[in-house]
């Protein structure tokens, strides 16, 4: 039997019961599509008329380390139920047909895309909008860091890849943390895979970049970089040469935001604590970081409401959204996907029509992100793909999920309790 070597075509036969409608992004490991779940698949059963389907690149289907990492991502993120986290709905696949991960489709754009768009238009996201985006993300991070196993023991989850391209900002104004592809947690199957790039160098805490032990405070350092860059509207540690970037992460002084723009002065104390090189001097939890940020924001224009963030997304991602809406209209799916606060709950779309008629206008992909040139970053590119149509087979995802769940439970059970202190879950700072 000859194995498939490509993903199904957009609009072609479904993959694991999901019909690919439109490419959203393509990165080092996977391509992400908007997809329509067929009847009975878990994505549809969960009430979603549309999902984002992350598909592992074909050349990785037979590489166990990558496959395990990919399946781990689904297993971990499926456990986090929070409005500011994109959690997996379904996972499946095999080495013949390819592997996929289904998650709620977020109509919107990632922060990296919004920042690039703002730069190219000579516009800016105001500090109150930036603060709302970061507060939402911190609430999602708090939920992720506080994740516990069935025995109630902390999993010690560390995302390890907190960066603008992994923050999805919806047209509902809610920011959601996504991409747990390199997250670390007790019980993670692919945890010790050597030689893989885990995160983006220019968003790494010093201990992470130096290969030392990481914990939830490493994510808070990364969040500090995201906050500084979004307010300053420039990169902080990034340099084309990775060794330069590494040196800067460890030693470069952090430019004061107040020196760049006086109204940003109240944020400097928050940034200084978030970006302390010594983890013990950082915030102890995402919730603590959020409280300090909210206090600082009071003296710097306040915190934008969700409607304001939504307007920014509509304006800065107009072309992307318009393309996606055209595609969905073509499939009679032209509504508003995932606007409900609970990302994991059912979307408000009406049932999908199974008919399609006229041809779609071609998609003009946006240019590659400037930070995609960083050789140390698993950045997302947006190349257009036109893969061939392979023979299809339904995938045994239920069996796969059961195996993953069992393996995870066995691993978790084999770990000693309390080996890693995670912060307690606290209310989202909203």
Ligand X SMILES: Nc1ncnc2c1ncn2[C@@H]1O[C@H](COP(=O)(O)OP(=O)(O)O)[C@@H](O)[C@H]1O
Whether residue 157 contacts residue 184, with contact meaning beta carbons closer than 8 Å, is answered with yes
Residue of minimal CB distance from Mg ion? 179
Phi then psi dihedrals of residue 329, to 5 deg: -65, -40
What does the buried/exposed string (b/e) look like for 75-84 if buried means 16 or more CB atoms within 10 Å of the residue's CB?
bbbbbbebbb
Contacts of 6 (CB under 8 A, 6+ apart): 58, 387, 388, 390
371 interacts with Mg ion by CB under 5 A:
no
Give 95's DSSP letter: T
178 binds ligand X (CB under 6 A): yes
**Between 51 and 264, whose beta carbon lies closer to ligand X?**
51
Residue in this structure with the two tokens 């032990």, named with its chain if needed: 213
From 173-181, 250-258, 292-300, 420-428, give the range in contact with ligand X by CB under 6 A: 173-181
At CA 39, angle to CA 38 and CA 45, rounded to 5?
105
Question: Is the Cβ of residue 195 or residue 253 nearer to ligand X in the bound state?
Answer: 195
Binders of ligand X in range 41-70 (CB under 6 A): 52, 54
Q: Is 166 in the site for Mg ion (CB under 5 A)?
A: yes
DSSP-derived letter for residue 92 is E
Whole-number minimum distance, CB 278 to ligand X, in Å?
29
Question: SS3 for 276?
Answer: coil
29 binds, options ligand X, Mg ion, none, Cβ within 5 to 8 A by partner type: ligand X
Burial per residue of 163-191, b for 16 or more beta-carbon CB atoms within 10 angstroms, e otherwise: bbbbbbbbbbbbbbbbbbbbbbbbbbbbe
Residue 202 C-beta: closest distance to Mg ion, Å: 14
State the binding string over 91-120 for ligand X (x if CB under 6 A, else -). ------------xxxx---x----------
Catalytic residues: 161
Based on the number of CB atoms within 10 Å of its own CB, is 1 exposed (0-12), middle (13-18) or buried (19 or more)? exposed
Sole window of 142-150, 173-181, 259-267, 387-395 interacting with Mg ion (rule: CB under 5 A): 173-181
Residue whose pair of structure tokens reads 């924001």 in the numeric block: 297
Q: Is 31 in the site for Mg ion (CB under 5 A)?
A: no
Q: How far apart are CA 221 and CA 218, in angstroms?
A: 5
Using CB distances below 5 to 8 A depending on partner kind, what does residue 86 bind out of Mg ion, ligand X, none? ligand X
CA–CA dist 412, 149 (Å, integer): 7
Nearer to ligand X, 190 or 257 (CB): 190
- Pick from 10, 29, 53, 226: which binds ligand X (CB under 6 A)? 29
Nearer to Mg ion, 23 or 179 (CB): 179
DSSP-based three-state secondary structure for 398: helix
- Which one of 7, 24, 157, 328 is in contact with ligand X (CB under 6 A)? 24
User: Does 32 interact with ligand X (rule: CB under 6 A)?
Assistant: yes
Residue 30 touches which of Mg ion, ligand X, none (Cβ within 5-8 Å per kind): ligand X
Q: Minimum CB separation from ligand X for residue 284, in Å?
A: 27
- In the complex, the smallest distance separating the C-beta of residue 218 from ligand X, rounded to whole angstroms, is 18
d(CA 385, CA 393): 22
Residue 430 makes CB contacts below 8 A (sequence gap 6+) with 135, 136, 139
Say whether residue 113 binds Mg ion (CB under 5 A).
no
Q: What is d(CA 60, CA 52) in angstroms, rounded to the nearest whole number? A: 20
**Strand ranges for 328-369 from DSSP E:** none
Q: Is 18 in the site for ligand X (CB under 6 A)?
A: no
How far apart are CB 76 and ligand X at their closest, in Å?
13
Chain centroid offset of residue 269 CA: 27
Interface region with ligand X, contact rule CB under 6 A, candidates 150-158, 174-182, 254-262, 277-285: 174-182
Give the whole-angstrom CA distance, residue 57 versus residue 29.
6
**Among ligand X, Mg ion, none, residue 344 binds (CB under 5-8 Å by kind):** none
Name residues contacting ligand X, limited to 360-399 (CB under 6 A): 378, 380
- Closest residue to ligand X: CB criterion: 27
| Interaction residues for Mg ion, span 176-205 (CB under 5 A) | 179
Distance separating alpha carbons of residues 145 and 227, to the nearest angstrom: 19
Q: Which residues bind Mg ion (CB under 5 A)?
A: 166, 179
Q: Which residues bind ligand X (CB under 6 A)?
A: 24-25, 27, 29-30, 32, 52, 54, 86, 103-106, 110, 165-166, 168, 178-179, 181, 378, 380
């Amino acid at each position: 039997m000859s194995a498939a070597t490509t993903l199904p075509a957009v609009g072609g036969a479904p993959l694991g019961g999901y019909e690919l409608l439109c490419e959203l992004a393509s990165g080092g490991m996977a391509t992400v599509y908007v997809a329509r779940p067929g009847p009975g698949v878990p994505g549809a059963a969960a009430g979603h008329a549309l999902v984002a389907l992350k598909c592992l690149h074909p050349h990785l289907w037979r590489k166990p380390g990558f496959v395990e990492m990919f399946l781990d991502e689904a297993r971990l993120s499926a456990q986090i139920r929070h409005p500011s986290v994109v959690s997996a709905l379904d996972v499946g696949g095999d080495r013949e047909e390819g592997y996929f991960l289904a998650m709620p489709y977020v109509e919107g754009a990632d922060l990296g895309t919004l920042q690039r768009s703002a730069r190219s238009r000579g516009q800016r996201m105001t500090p109150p909008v930036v603060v709302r985006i970061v507060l939402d993300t911190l609430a999602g991070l708090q939920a992720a860091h506080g994740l516990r196993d069935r025995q109630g023991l902390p999993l010690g989850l560390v995302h390890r890849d907190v960066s603008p391209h992994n923050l999805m900002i919806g047209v509902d104004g809610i920011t959601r943390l996504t991409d747990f592809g390199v997250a670390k947690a007790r019980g993670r199957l692919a945890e010790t895979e050597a030689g893989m790039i885990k995160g983006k160098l220019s968003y790494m805490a010093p201990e992470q970049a130096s290969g030392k032990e990481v914990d939830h405070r490493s994510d808070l350092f990364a969040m500090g970089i995201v906050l500084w860059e979004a307010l300053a509207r420039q990169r902080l540690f990034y340099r084309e040469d990775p060794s330069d970037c590494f040196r800067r992460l460890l030693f470069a002084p952090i430019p004061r935001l107040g020196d760049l723009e006086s109204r940003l002065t109240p944020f400097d104390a928050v940034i200084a604590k978030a970006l302390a090189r010594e983890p013990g001097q950082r915030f102890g939890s995402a919730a603590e970081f959020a409280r300090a940020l909210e206090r600082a924001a009071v003296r710097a224009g306040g915190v934008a409401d969700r409607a304001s963030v939504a307007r920014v997304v509509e304006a800065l991602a107009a072309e992307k959204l318009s393309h996606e809406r055209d595609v969905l209209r073509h499939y009679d799916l032209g509504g508003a996907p995932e606007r409900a606060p609970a990302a994991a709950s059912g979307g408000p779309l009406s049932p999908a029509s199974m008919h399609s008629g006229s041809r779609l206008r071609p998609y003009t992909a946006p240019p590659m992100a400037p930070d995609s040139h960083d050789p140390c970053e698993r950045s997302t590119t947006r190349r257009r793909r036109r893969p061939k149509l392979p023979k299809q087979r339904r995938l045994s995802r239920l069996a796969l999920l059961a195996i993953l769940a069992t393996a995870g439970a066995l691993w978790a059970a084999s770990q000693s309790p309390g080996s890693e202190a995670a912060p307690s879950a606290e209310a989202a700072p909203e």
